[in-house]
Amino acid sequence: RQPKRLADYQAPIFSITHTDLVFELDATATRVTATLTFKRQQPGRLLLEGQQLKLERVRLNDRVLTAAEFAQTAESLEIFAPGDTGVLEIVTLLNPEQNTALEGLYLAEGVYCTQCEAEGFRRITYYPDRPDVLAVFTTTIIANRNELPFLLSNGNKVRESRLPDGRTEVVWHDPYPKPSYLFALVAGDFDHLHDTYVTSTGREVLLEFFVQKGALARSHFAMAALKRAMRWDEQRFGLAYDLDRYMVVAVDFFNMGAMENKGLNVFNSKFVLADDTSATDTDYFNIESIIGHEYFHNWTGNRVTCRDWFQLSLKEGLTVFRDQEFSADMGSPTLNRIDAVKVIRTAQFAEDASPMAHPIRPEQVLEMNNFYTVTVYDKGAEVIRMLQTLLGKAGFNAGLACYLQRHDGQAVTCDDFVQAMQDATGYDLQAFRRWYSQSGTPELSVKEQFDAATGKLTLTLAQQTPATADQQEKLPLVIPVKIELLFHDGSAAQQHLLILDSSVQQFQFDNLPQAPLVVWLEDFSAPVKLSTDYDVEQLLAIASRASNGFARWDAMQQFWHKIIKDAVQQSALPVLPEALLTAFRQWLITPLADLALTAELLTLPDFDTLAAHYAPIPVDALLNILQETTQLLSKALLPELLGCYQQLTTPAYHYSEADVGLRALKNRCLHYLAFTAEGAKRVTAHYQAANNMTDILAALHAAQHANIAQAGELMADFAKRNEANVHVMDKYFNVVAANPRDSVFDALEKLTAHPVFSWKNPNRVRAVYGAFSQRNAPQFHRKDGKGYALLAEVVTKVDAINPQLAARLITPLLSWQRYDDGRQQQLIMLLRELASLPMLSDDLYEKVHKSLP
Ligand code: B3K
Ligand code: ZN
C-alpha cells in the first residue's frame, strides 16, 4: 500500500463550481444524484474519487455515457472526454444501515448522519474529494416526513414541499464555496431547542440544537456556551458569524468529539448533553470548549481552509489554540494551562517517542484519519502559542487578521499562515518555520552562573532534539523560554523572555541584587523538556513563592520527578523530605485563594507523565512508588487532610470556577483519606451525601483505588440508579475498567454483555477498552501480557466494524520499544499477529507496519 506524500502535491486539474446533490433517503438503498458543474484548470484527466459506491448512471451534459466512455475502479471514476467545462450527473446507491465505519452517510438508531472529514465524501458520490476544490453546494433531501421530521444540510433552507408520492423534499443552499469535507446531512426525529443571537455586525442568527427526544433540558448549557463563544470571537478577534442559521445536531454514534460542517455542526451527544445530576465539572468544561472549537472553525478552517491534508494543523492547531484561549477567559487561565501541558507531557511526548512520530505538518500519510493526533492538534496549538509569545498579543491578532483577509475563500498552507504573521508584524519567522517540518521533543539543558561582585547572571542554554522514528537529523529550533528571577531578599521578581535559536546560547543580566532563583520555562512557553539540577528545597521554594500559579505547579511536578527518579535508581521507596510535608500541611491548612490550583499542587504526576522520562520505562517500580507514596502521604498528613476535607462544603451544585475548585480540593483530600483507617466509612459517606456527579465519581474512584470493602456495593448502586442515561453508564464503565486488580478481566467481560453496551457504538467501546488501556496501567501493563492480549483481541474485532476506532484503540500497543524485554516480546508478538490478518484496514495497516521491528 502506497502512502501519499506532501512533496507530490499537485493543484487540481478540474475545479467544481457548483455541486447539486439530491438524496432519496432509504435505510439500505439511498440514491444520490450529484450534478457537478466543472471547469478545467490545466491539462490532464478528469478523475474522481469514490469508495464503496454502487454506480447507477453517469450523464455528461444531458447525455448518458456508455460504459466505454468512463472507467471505474474500486476507488475511482474516470471520465474520458469531459471537455473543458460541462455538467456531470452521477447517480450512486448507498447502504447507510450497513455503514458501521461511521464515515460517509450512515444510519444509526433511526438517525441519518454524515461524516466527511477527511475523505468520507467519496463514500457518498464520485468527487474530487480534496480540500482545495471548493464549490457552492445545493442539497435536496427527499424522505418520509413522518419518520424523519427534520431534514438538515448546510447553509440556508430555501424550500420545502410535498411531493405527489407523499414524501417531503427540503432544499438547502450554502452560499459559501466549500470543500467536500465540510458537507453534512442529518435526518431524524429530534427535540429542538432554538434561540437567537445578534452578531456585532447586526446579523440576527437563528441558533438551533437538535437532540434526542427527551433530552431538551440537557441542551441548555451547550446553547449558552455557543453564545459565549460567538461573543468571545467577536471581542477577541473581531470575527462574527456569517450565515443566518447555526445548527448543532447531537448524535450517539460518532467517531470523535464533533465536526465543524458549515452551518451544521454534528456533535457526539456526549459533548452536548448535560445537566446538574448527570454531568461532571469536566463534562461541562469539555462541552464549552468543544462547542467553542467547532464554532471557531467557521473562520479558521471553513472560511480559510487547508490546501491538502498535510496542512491539517493549519486549521486544527490554530483552532485548538483559539479554544484554549476561550476556555482560559471563561474560567481559570492557570488550570487551563496546567491541563493543556499535561496533554503534551503525557500523550504528545509519548507520540514523539513512538513509531508514529511525525511533525505537526506530516510528510507522508497512508490513512489520513491516523493523523488527527495530539501532535497535529495540541503540539500544533503550542506552536501557535509560541508565535503569540514572540509577536505579542497585538502582533498576533494583526497577523491573524491579515491571514483571514488575505486568504478568505481559499485553501492554503501552513507557510501561508506564517507568512501572514510575518508580513503583518515585520518579524522574521524564517527560522521559526522549522517547527512545522521537524518532529520530536527538544531537550533543553541550562546552566546558571552568578558573579556576586558585579551582580551579573549568565545563563547558558543548550538545545538538542533526539532522533525520532520518522526523522534522524534534527536542527536547532527557535524556542521562546520565559523565565522569572526570584530573590530571597524581597526584591521584586523579574520576568524575561529568552529566545533560544541556536544549539548553545548565553544570556546575561546585570545589576541583580543577589543570586536569584530562576524559574524556567514559565507557562510552558515551548513544547520541550527542560531539566535543571535544582535540589528539592529549591523546587519547593519555587512551588511556594513563584508569582505564577503554573510555575508553582510545574515546580511540584519537577520535585516529584526528581524524588521518584532517585527512588527508582535505588530500588527503594521515596524519602519524603520534611520540607515537602510542611508545604503540603500549609496548603491543606490555608489553601491558596485558587482552590483548584491547591488541589493540583497536592497531586502526584500520573504514570504516563513520569514514564516520559525513562527508556525503558520501569513500569513496576513506577506503579509501586506511586501507590506507596500516596499511602505515605495519607498517613503523614491525616489530621490536615481531614481538617481541609471537613472545612470545604458546597450547599447546592453549581458549575462555577469557585465551586469547581472547591470540589477538586475536597475530592483530592478524599483520594488520600480513602487509604486511611476510616477511609471506607468516609468514602461511603461521601458517595451517599453527594449531590452531583463529580463528587459521586470521586467517591467511586477513591473506593476502587484504595480497594475499600464497599467498593462493589457502591458501584452496583451507581449502575442501578443510572441505567437510563448512556453517558452516565459510560462513566460507570470507565470506573470498572480502571480497576487495578486481577478481577478486572472478568468485570470487562461482563460489561460487554450489559444491555447498554454495543460494539458498534464508539463511545461504549472507548468507555470500556479505551479506559482499560489508558487508565489502568497496573493491569494493562501486566508482566504476563494478558492486558496487551486483551486489547489486541478487541482491536481485531473492532477493525471489522469501525477501522477508525480500531486505529485509535491500538495506540498503546505500538510503542514496544519503550518497555523492558519481556513486555517488548509480548507486544511484538501481538503486532505480528495483527499484521498477518487478511483483512486489515488501511488505518491499522499503517500503524502496525510502522511499528513492527
Ligand atoms: N475536524 C474534526 C475532526 C475530523 C476527524 C476526522 N477523522 C473535528 C475537529 O477537530 O473540530
Ligand atoms: Zn478541529
Residues with CB under 5 A from ligand 2 (ion): 316, 319
Ligand 2 centroid to residue 602 C-alpha, Å: 33
Q: What is the DSSP string of 58-71?
A: EEETTEEPPGGGEE
CB-ligand 1 contact for 788 (6 Å cutoff): no
pLDDT at residue 65, as a whole number: 98
How confident is the model over 131-155, as pLDDT tens digits? 999 999 999 999 999 999 999 999 9
pLDDT band at 651 (very low <50, low <70, confident <90, very high): confident
186: cell is: 442529518
CB-ligand 1 contact for 118 (6 Å cutoff): yes
CB-ligand 1 contact for 271 (6 Å cutoff): no
How many residues are given for the chain? 853
289, 300, 316, best to mutate for ligand 1 pocket (most atoms within 8 Å of CB): 316
Ligand 2 centroid to residue 276 C-alpha, Å: 27
Please tell me the distance from the alpha carbon of residue 849 to that of residue 11, in angstroms, as a whole number: 30
Distances from the Cα of 669 to the Cαs of 117, 342, 655, 659, in angstroms? Answer: 43, 21, 20, 15
Please tell me the distance from the alpha carbon of residue 38 to that of residue 820, in angstroms, as a whole number: 57
Q: What is the pLDDT of the chain when averaged over all its residues?
A: 98
CB-ligand 1 contact for 294 (6 Å cutoff): yes
- Measured in degrees and rounded to the nearest 5, phi and psi for residue 316 equal -80, -45
Residue 236 amino acid letter? R
CB-ligand 1 contact for 659 (6 Å cutoff): no
Please tell me the distance from the alpha carbon of residue 616 to that of residue 611, in angstroms, as a whole number: 9
160 as an active site residue: the answer is: no
Ligand 2 centroid to residue 145 C-alpha, Å: 33
Handedness of CA 424, 427, 431, 437 (dihedral sign): negative
Determine if the pTM surpasses 0.95: yes
Nearest to 595 by CA among 529, 666, 649, 494: 666
How confident is the model over 172-185, as pLDDT tens digits? 999 999 999 999 99
How large is the ipTM? 0.99
Q: Does the pLDDT of residue 522 top 90, yes or no? A: yes
pLDDT at residue 343, as a whole number: 98
Ligand 1 centroid to residue 259 C-alpha, Å: 5
187: cell is: 435526518
Q: Which protein residue's CA is at the shortest distance from atom 8 of ligand 1?
A: 259
Q: Does the pLDDT of residue 650 top 80, yes or no? A: no
* Mean pLDDT of all residues in 476-486: 98
Please tell me the distance from the alpha carbon of residue 808 to that of residue 354, in angstroms, as a whole number: 14
Query: Which positions ≥6 away from 802 have C-beta within 8 Å?
Result: 100, 101, 102, 255, 760, 762
How confident is the model over 415-472, as pLDDT tens digits? 999 999 999 999 999 999 999 999 999 999 999 999 999 999 999 999 999 999 999 9
CB-ligand 1 contact for 372 (6 Å cutoff): yes
Pair 236, 278: CB distance under 8 Å: no
* Domains (range + CATH), the chain: 4-189 (2.60.40.1730), 305-437 (1.10.390.10), 443-537 (2.60.40.1840)
Give me the residue label for grid cell 515585520: 426
Please tell me the distance from the alpha carbon of residue 550 to that of residue 341, in angstroms, as a whole number: 10
Please tell me the distance from the alpha carbon of residue 544 to that of residue 538, in angstroms, as a whole number: 10
pLDDT band at 788 (very low <50, low <70, confident <90, very high): very high
- The 8-class DSSP code of residue 493 comes to P
Ligand 2 centroid to residue 360 C-alpha, Å: 14
319: cell is: 483552532
How confident is the model over 7-29, as pLDDT tens digits? 999 999 999 999 999 999 999 99
CB-ligand 1 contact for 259 (6 Å cutoff): yes
Secondary-structure breakdown of the chain: helix, strand, coil percentages, each rounded to the nearest 5? 45, 20, 35
254, 365, 372, best to mutate for ligand 1 pocket (most atoms within 8 Å of CB): 372
The DSSP bridge partners found for residue 172 are 139, 157
- Per DSSP, the three-state class of 584 is helix
Q: Does the pLDDT of residue 303 top 90, yes or no? A: yes
Ligand 1 centroid to residue 562 C-alpha, Å: 38
SS (H, E, C) 9-22: CCCCCEEEEEEEEE
- Per DSSP, the three-state class of 581 is helix
Please identify which of the residues 103, 260, 294, 325 carries the catalytic annotation.
294
How confident is the model over 231-288, as pLDDT tens digits? 999 999 999 999 999 999 999 999 999 999 999 999 999 999 999 999 999 999 999 9
Number of H helices, E strands in the chain: 30, 31
Examine residue 616 and say whether the peptide bond preceding it is cis (omega within 30 degrees of 0).
yes
Distances from the Cα of 189 to the Cαs of 99, 209, 442, 559, 760, in angstroms? Answer: 20, 12, 51, 54, 21
Query: Which positions ≥6 away from 273 have C-beta within 8 Å?
Result: 211, 212, 215, 218, 219, 222, 250, 727
Q: How many CA atoms lie within 13 A of 671 on its CB side?
A: 20
CB-ligand 1 contact for 38 (6 Å cutoff): no
- The 8-class DSSP code of residue 516 comes to P
Nearest to 383 by CA among 520, 497, 524, 502: 524
Pairing mode of beta strands 305-306, 411-412: parallel
The DSSP bridge partners found for residue 23 are 32, 141
- Per DSSP, the three-state class of 152 is strand
Pairing mode of beta strands 456-464, 443-451: antiparallel
Give me the residue label for grid cell 491571514: 403
Pair 153, 264: CB distance under 8 Å: yes
Q: 679-689 and 711-722 helices cross at what angle (nearest 10)? A: 10
The DSSP bridge partners found for residue 161 are 169
537: cell is: 528545597
* Mean pLDDT of all residues in 84-93: 98
Nearest to 736 by CA among 721, 715, 757: 715
CB-ligand 1 contact for 369 (6 Å cutoff): yes
Exposed e or buried b per residue across 224-247, where buried means at least 16 C-beta atoms within 10 angstroms of its C-beta: ebbbbbbebbeeebebbbbbebbb
Q: Residue 259 CA: which ligand is closest?
A: 1
Q: Which atom of ligand 1 is nearest to the CA of 320?
A: 10
Please tell me the distance from the alpha carbon of residue 701 to that of residue 739, in angstroms, as a whole number: 9
Examine residue 215 and say whether the peptide bond preceding it is cis (omega within 30 degrees of 0).
no
Ligand 1 centroid to residue 258 C-alpha, Å: 7
How confident is the model over 99-124, as pLDDT tens digits? 999 999 999 999 999 999 999 999 99
Residue 311 amino acid letter? Q
Exposed e or buried b per residue across 831-842, where buried means at least 16 C-beta atoms within 10 angstroms of its C-beta: beebeeeeebbb
pLDDT band at 478 (very low <50, low <70, confident <90, very high): very high
Q: Residue 808 CA: which ligand is closest?
A: 1
Q: Which atom of ligand 1 is nearest to the CA of 118?
A: 6
- The 8-class DSSP code of residue 536 comes to H
Please tell me the distance from the alpha carbon of residue 750 to that of residue 550, in angstroms, as a whole number: 42
Please tell me the distance from the alpha carbon of residue 457 to that of residue 448, in angstroms, as a whole number: 7
Distances from the Cα of 650 to the Cαs of 336, 654, 662, 690, 695, in angstroms? Answer: 23, 9, 8, 10, 11
CB-ligand 1 contact for 823 (6 Å cutoff): no
101: cell is: 465505519
pLDDT at residue 547, as a whole number: 87
Q: What is the DSSP string of 103-151?
A: -EEEEETTEEEEE-TTTTGGGTS-B--STT--EEEEEEEEE-TTT--EE
* Mean pLDDT of all residues in 205-226: 98
* Mean pLDDT of all residues in 517-531: 97
Q: Which atom of ligand 1 is nearest to the CA of 290?
A: 11
Please tell me the distance from the alpha carbon of residue 410 to that of residue 303, in angstroms, as a whole number: 7
* Mean pLDDT of all residues in 367-379: 98
